[in-house]
Homo-oligomer: A and B are copies of this chain.
Amino acid sequence: MSSENQDHPQQHIQYFWEDLPVGKRIEMGSITVDHDEVVAFASKYDPQPFHLNDAAAAKSMFGRLSASGWHTCAMAMGLMVRNFLNESSSLGSPGLEAVKWLKPVYPGDTLTLFQEIQDSRPMNSRPDVGLTRTLWEMFNQHGEQVLLMDGWGMFRRRERGEGRSDTAG
């Protein structure tokens, strides 16, 4: 019986729960931080002076304009969605066990995200779903880690006979 997952048309799914074993590490791509977007994000969601303008930032503990930590998380999510989740059977996330803002993020920085599967188990209440615990690590162009996140994701499991899309006949 063919499945009909309306969130994730079957032909686009590269990653079911079974394709995410413990230890698997995937690069999620890179993004360069844009100065005006740093200010725009902060204006709406984190209007602390040192995220809003260069003059205030120069006098702050950061020394120059830095991105909101929430903007850093949002940029990581953008990479995660575009390079992984939209090609997966993801059913969302109940939350995170940790977020660590390890270094400031500055306009012009190029950030690269990796995810690594830390834990994986079937979901007892839903036999068609599995849980994964994933470490997210983002690094700047100097190789310094700027962000760590540790969170849970829910993924639909492959049905019997349901192969990878690239090998299905």
Contact = CB atoms under 8 A, between A and B. Distances in A.
B6 A77 contact: no
Contacts of A97: 97-98
**DSSP majority for the A interface?**
mixed
Interface in A43-58: 44-50
A45 B78 contact: yes
Contact of A60 (B6, B50, B59): B6
A134 to B, nearest CB: 14
A26 interface: no
A45 to B, nearest CB: 4
A47 B86 CA distance: 8
A69 interface: yes
Interface in A25-75: 41, 44-50, 59-61, 68-70, 73-75
B47 A7 contact: no
A85 to B, nearest CB: 6
A47 B82 contact: yes
A93 B69 contact: yes
A45 B100 contact: no
B96 A61 contact: no
A167 B73 CA distance: 39
Nearest to A8: B49
A144 B94 CA distance: 16
B73 A77 contact: no
A115 to B, nearest CB: 15
Given A61-B92, A98-B95, A86 B7 contact: no
Contact of A95 (B48, B59, B99): B99
Interface string A1-37: 0000011000000000000000000000000000000
